[in-house]
Chains A and B, each alone.
Chain A
Amino acid sequence: MDIHSIAEPFDLQKLRRQIPLMSSHANGHPLVYFDNAATTQKPLELLESLNNYYQFHNANIHRGAHYLANLATEQFEDSRVAMAKWLNASEAAEIIFTSGTTESINLVAFSWGQQYLKPGDEIVLSTTEHHSNIVPWQMAAERSGAAIRVIPVDDNGIWDLTNLQTLITAKTKMVAVQHVSNALGTIQPIEQVIAAARAAGAHVLIDGAQAIGHFRVDVQALDCDFYAFSAHKMYGPTGLGVLYGKRSLLDAMPPYKGGGEMIKTVTFEKTTYNELPHKFEAGTPDIAGVIALHASLNFMQQTGIEAISTQEEVLRKKMQTTLQSIDGVELFGDVDNKVPIFSFVLDGIHPYDIGTLLDKQGVAVRTGHHCTEPLWSRLKVPGTVRASLALYNTEQEIDLFANALRKALTMLR
């Protein structure tokens, strides 16, 4: 059975009823939530799972020899197994639970960096990276004496790979790039970059924060060494993330945090570390969140990841034509090869003004630099309005958004 899809026929209204926040209001209007790239809304299954855990199963895991502790541990580890299957990892031990994409990347930059980076080595990033896939590497470079090199973009923010061969070389030890741009929605040509990294003998980390909720991700087919993402962008809880890593690398890497859970034996003279994945999970983890993430996976599985992609493609196309029909809209990024994230500016109007007037009409978008300052300084744009859609958004909401945007424009022009 395909684990990504035990889908029933797609029923949007039924699906919306499963997401309680879809029926709420903002500033006296029905909420139009177009800020899904920041975080997705949560299905009832997730909320019930969180509640169930605290009400009926709450116990610390991996330590107590009692009924509840065993139950919680089992559910926690079941979630890890489900995630491994979802990503097509070779084994559950390759799934490390973290506090989010940010921590996943920091873990690799610190621990992998300590093991593998030396002066003169190079780390390759791209211009479109989120700050969380830049700063940890700058810190690692500082610690090790390695240098950072950057994949450039064209005037539209699209990766320019013409000089990839001179960028990724024998000096390159790590290529850390995003799967999908949070600022533009572009699905990046990571296959090509991974192949170049493989040819050069470099390791690869993919920041999958904006991919994981939109389409099927198969870490073995991608052949990346690490894949990082956050649960809250895939209909899951906040403050929880995943780091997938190949066992051979994770085994070779030193622990990143010290504490309980991650040890085998501790004496004041010497501590020996636990096996994977516990070696990287010091302290009591977000047990409720990990268990609830399994419910989010079930939600995505029941909807079907292909159905999610197909439905979002309908929304993307409609949003694209809608935005193009509005006078003065300038869109950034790839036109077709993208998830439904739209970054735009309107001639001479500040994004903050648009965001404020949309908000007054119940439409939630994000404005600003979206934590990708290097991209916007390259494009010479201080910031944009970003509308990001998800599975449960409707074509009617796109019309409401367009009307609200037109009204804002008549007020501002």
Chain B
Amino acid sequence: MSSTIEIRQQEIISEFEMFSDWMQKYEYIIELGKELPLIATALKTDELLIKGCQSKVWLHASDASDGCLHFTADSDAIITKGLVALVVRVFDGEKPEDILQTDLHFVKAIGLHEHLSPTRSNGLAGMIQQIKNYALAYQLKQKQ
């Protein structure tokens, strides 16, 4: 695992340690959701869409010349968007092999793993899977 991925996860965990109740936590997530730059409507095609039953997530991936993957993402629900922002922050600009090896333990550590449950169907679990799929596809392409 890349040390920057782990450092970012630890950063997030310590940020959340400052919050004493659920309200502060969610206020912060909502704040993050509002700050995350939107994906241009034109880019919100069905190809980028990860459809949860409850909320939708759009994920756009691009690769830089340095062999790292870059992500932008969006959601129609602000809480999902805040969580999406955290996931993007962890993976953005990382190498495919590091992304593939990552255990996204911070979500559980900050007490938000309920949002990853498949029964929540908010698109977040699908988004993380899709990030790993991109990483795998990119890795295969590089090897060719």
The chain A residues found within 8 Å of chain B, CB to CB, are: 27, 349-353, 355-357, 360, 367-368, 382-383, 407, 411-412
Contact = CB atoms under 8 A, between A and B. Distances in A.
Interface residues of B, number: 14
B76 to A, nearest CB: 6
B40 interface: no
Nearest to A407: B23
B53 interface: yes
Contacts of A411: 23, 26-27, 30
B26 A350 contact: no
B59 interface: no
Given A350-B77, A368-B53, A407-B23, 9 more contacts: A349-B78, A350-B78, A351-B54, A352-B55, A352-B80, A353-B78, A355-B54, A357-B79, A411-B23
A27 to B, nearest CB: 8
Interface in B37-85: 53-55, 76-80
B22 A356 contact: no
Contacts of A27: 22
Nearest to B27: A411
17 contacts: A27-B22, A350-B55, A350-B76, A352-B54, A352-B55, A352-B77, A353-B30, A353-B77, A356-B26, A356-B79, A360-B22, A368-B53, A407-B23, A411-B26, A411-B27, A411-B30, A412-B78
A412 B76 CA distance: 13
B122 interface: yes
A352 B53 CA distance: 10
Contacts of B27: 411
A407 B27 CA distance: 11
A407 B22 CA distance: 12
B74 to A, nearest CB: 12
Given A350-B76, A352-B79, A368 B26 contact: no
Contacts of B22: 27, 360
Contacts of A407: 23
B53 A353 contact: no
Nearest to B123: A352
Nearest to A367: B54
B67 to A, nearest CB: 36
A315 B134 CA distance: 51
Contacts of A349: 78
A352 B122 contact: yes
Contacts of A412: 30, 78
A11 B141 CA distance: 70
B24 to A, nearest CB: 10
